[in-house]
Amino acid sequence: MLGSYFTIGGVSRFQIVQDFRRNGCEVVVATPGRFLDILSIKKNGISLKRVTFLVLDECDRMLDMGFESQVKQILNNVRPDRQSLLLSATLGRKIEHVARKWLTDPIRIAIGETGHASDHVEQHVMVLPNFDAKKSWIEEMIPILSGVGQTLIFVATRVDCETLAATIREGNSSLVLETLHGDKHAADRQAALRAFEKGHLSALIATDVAARGLDTNVFTVVCFDPAKNLDIHVHRVGRAGRLAKEEQNHRQGTAYTLLTPKNADFAHVLMNSFQREKRKISSELIELAQKSKKFGNLVTREKWNKTGLGFVESASLPASNIHSCDMMTMPVMKKSRWG
């Protein structure tokens, strides 16, 4: 059995280094900043020259959070003949740009359509008159949604996490809620996640820190506040409808997005997305989207699926190339070579 270890902020560096020295490790899962902290300690027990397989997961998020220089430092010290794997559900121009520098002769393997929300999640958009109406909706629906399955609620800010949790607890004292955001201590975040994964919570209220990497049996996702952009929305919705490890098939999930008249621009983005994904569009969403200044300008992202970095269609891919080149994966049922 392979020995593995993870290193994140909030965990004692001394204890991590001691474990590395004493037990060794075959697999390390780490955030870039904390990993560099560990490497900066003399006799840390880690040699990047021994790394033969490197995975960059949620790379677009690392770039958005300003970790490009840290990732670059790590890559510059890993042996050059490694195999790299870059994973992303959304492929933006920034990712394409860094892929030119970080990957060597990469092969692109894509599943589904880039930037499309999961087909295993049914999406509903609720257009409500104001913020108070959103609070009333969530207070009324949360007992029903939590009774069906695990429920994850997304809000915009850390303060809103605690405020909404207090509001729901006041109206439904029998519900067990936890919050997840950047202001909480790492130990508290881990405790909230464990409680949620074990099904001890009626709902988890979180900022977008929970939009990625949370792989639990979430049945319902509620976007109490709309996402900042479509990519974040795709990741939020993707927390539901995950692959069931036991049955090896996808569960079905449901997502609710709550919008008010102030969200006309996002309604327009969402309507265009639904059109591309051939989802049913409600008359309320269309009416709100028509109030956007961008209405009538269909923003398509299909070019990101079939162009960029020398994308060339290929009917077949030599098996030898898969093992000798770096790989980049994101949601398009095609295999291709990048020139």
Q: Which of 40, 102, 37 is nearest to 68 (CA)?
A: 102
pLDDT-derived band of residue 311, with 50, 70 and 90 as boundaries? very low
pLDDT tens digits along 88-139: 766 667 677 777 777 777 777 776 666 667 778 899 999 999 999 999 999 9
Tokens of 156: 């915009």
Q: What span, in angstroms and rounded, lies between the C-alpha atoms of 74 and 84?
A: 13
Question: Which of the 8 DSSP states describes residue 49?
Answer: G
Query: How are beta strands 334-338 and 311-313 bridged, if at all?
Result: antiparallel
Asked whether 192 and 162 are in contact (CB, 8 A), the reply is no
Which residue's structure tokens are 């162009």? 307
Q: Greater confidence, 240 or 318?
A: 240
Asked whether 74 and 295 are in contact (CB, 8 A), the reply is no
Question: Which of the 8 DSSP states describes residue 261?
Answer: G
pLDDT-derived band of residue 4, with 50, 70 and 90 as boundaries? low
In this structure, the number of other CB atoms found within 10 A of the CB of residue 124 comes to: 13
The answer to whether residue 83 scores a pLDDT higher than 80 is yes
**What pLDDT is recorded for position 307?**
44
**What pLDDT is recorded for position 86?**
83
Q: Greater confidence, 58 or 243?
A: 58
pLDDT-derived band of residue 318, with 50, 70 and 90 as boundaries? very low
What are φ and ψ of residue 319, in 5° steps? -60, -35
**What pLDDT is recorded for position 62?**
78
Q: Identify the structural domains of the chain with CATH numbers, from first to last.
A: 4-114+307-338 (3.40.50.300), 121-289 (3.40.50.300)
pLDDT tens digits along 22-35: 777 788 888 888 88
Q: Greater confidence, 9 or 239?
A: 239
**What pLDDT is recorded for position 128?**
96
Q: What is the mean pLDDT of residues 157-179?
A: 88
Q: What is the pTM of this model?
A: 0.68
DSSP string, 154-176: E-SSHHHHHHHHHHHHHH-TT--
**What pLDDT is recorded for position 26?**
81
Q: Greater confidence, 299 or 68?
A: 68
Averaged confidence pLDDT in the chain: 78
**What pLDDT is recorded for position 113?**
63
DSSP string, 187-221: HHHHHHHHHHHTT--SEEEE-GGGSSS--S-EEEE
Q: Which of 175, 178, 185, 186 is nearest to 205 (CA)?
A: 178
Candidate from 179-183, 204-208, 262-266, 298-302 with smallest mean pLDDT:
298-302
Q: Quick one: residue 90, left, alpha or beta (phi over 0 = left, psi -120 to 50 = alpha)?
A: beta
pLDDT-derived band of residue 68, with 50, 70 and 90 as boundaries? confident
**What pLDDT is recorded for position 328?**
53
